[in-house]
Amino acid sequence: MSALPAWLRVEAGSYGEMAKVRSVLSRLGVYTVCEGARCPNVFRCWGEGTATFMILGEVCTRACRFCSVRTGNPRGYVDLDEPRRVAEAVRRLGLRYVVVTSVDRDDLPDGGAFQFASAIREIRRLAPGALVEVLTPDFRGSREAVETVAEAGPDVFAHNVETVRRLTPLVRDRRASYETSLRVLKTAKEVGCRLTKSGIMLGLGESFDEVVEVLDDLRKAEVDIVTIGQYVRPTKSARYLPEARWVPPEEFQKLGEVALSMGFKAVASAPLVRSSYRAEDLYEMALGLRPRAVLV
C-alpha cells in the first residue's frame, strides 16, 4: 500500500497530559492500550478524561493477524492486585469514563472473566463517579463467563467481531469465530447488560455488502452501539496482514448512515475510529442524552 492518506494523519497533542498519565500508570504498574496499540486518538481521549486499560497481562494466547500484542503462554498467572491498581489509577487521574479490555487468556478456565468483574467492582469502590465499559475477549463462547462479567454491572459490554464473516479465518486466530462473537454479544443482552457494543475494521478486503451483512447480524444480536474504522498494519512484519485499501471518509459516512437506519442507538464511523473512540459520547447517545448522528 502507498503512504497513509491525508485523512489518516493526525496532529500531535499536548505532551503535558501524556506525561501526567504515564507517570501515574508507571507508579501503579498498570498498562493502557492507548499507547501500546498506537491509537491515533490517545491525546484526545486522555485530554477528555477517558482511557482504556488492559488487564490480565501483556501476553495473549492468540495470534490474530491485525494485533501487535505479544503472543505466548502466560501459564495461568493472574495478578490479583491488578484490579485495585487500575481503580486507583482511575481515581488519581480523575477519569470520567473507563474502558477495561484484556488479552485473550485461553489458559484460564474462565478466560479471565473474574478479573474483569473484579476490575469493575474496584473502580466502583475507589472511583464511584466513573462509568465503566468492558471490551472483552470471546471467553470461548462461555455463557457462565459472560454472566460473571455482567453481574458486576458494567455500563457497556463490548466485544468486537473485528471483520466480516468471510475474512474471519484469515484475520483472526483460528480459535476465534464470527458465530462465537455474535453469541457472546447476544448472551450479554440475555443476562442483563443494558448496552452492548461491537466494532469492525475496514480495508482488509471486504465488500460494502459484506459490511452491511455484519451490521445486520449485529442488530439481530441486539447490539446497541457500533464502531467502524480503518485497519492499519501495526508494522511491516509478515505476521500482520497488509491493508487491502484505504477506505475513503465518504464510504465510512455512508456505512454509518446505514447503521443508524438499521436501528443502532449510537454509531461512530470514520477512518480514525477505534473501539474506544468517543466512548462516553456514544454511551450518552445510546441513552438518548444527545441526538443520534454518525460520530466521525
Q: What is the pLDDT of residue 14?
A: 56
Question: Mind listing the pLDDT tens digit for each residue in 243-253?
Answer: 999 999 999 99
Domains of the chain, earliest start first: 13-295 (3.20.20.70)
Distance of CA 82 to the CA centre of its chain: 19
Helix ranges restricted to H, the chain: 15-28, 33-36, 42-47, 82-93, 113-126, 143-151, 168-171, 178-190, 208-220, 249-262, 279-286
Q: Which candidate, 221, 199, 195, 182, places its Cα nearest to that of 268? A: 199
Question: How much is the average pLDDT of 59-83?
Answer: 95
Question: Mind listing the pLDDT tens digit for each residue in 1-54?
Answer: 657 898 887 655 555 666 677 778 778 888 777 655 456 666 666 666 678 999
pLDDT at 294 > cutoff 60: yes
39 annotated as belonging to a binding site for a ligand: yes
For residue 241, what pLDDT band results from cuts at 50, 70 and 90?
very high
261 annotated as belonging to a binding site for a ligand: no
- Cα–Cα distances (Å) from 270 to 175, 278, 289, in that order, read 29, 12, 22
Q: Which candidate, 95, 124, 108, places its Cα nearest to that of 34? A: 95
pLDDT at 288 > cutoff 60: yes
pLDDT at 233 > cutoff 90: yes
68 annotated as belonging to a binding site for a ligand: no
Using DSSP, state whether 198 is helix, strand or coil.
strand
Query: What is the average pLDDT value for the chain, to the nearest integer?
Result: 92
Question: How much is the average pLDDT of 190-214?
Answer: 98
193 annotated as belonging to a binding site for a ligand: no
Interhelix angle 208-220/178-190, nearest 10 degrees: 30
C-alpha cell of 218? 449485529
C-alpha cell of 59? 501476553
pTM attached to this predicted model: 0.94
C-alpha cell of 167? 475474512
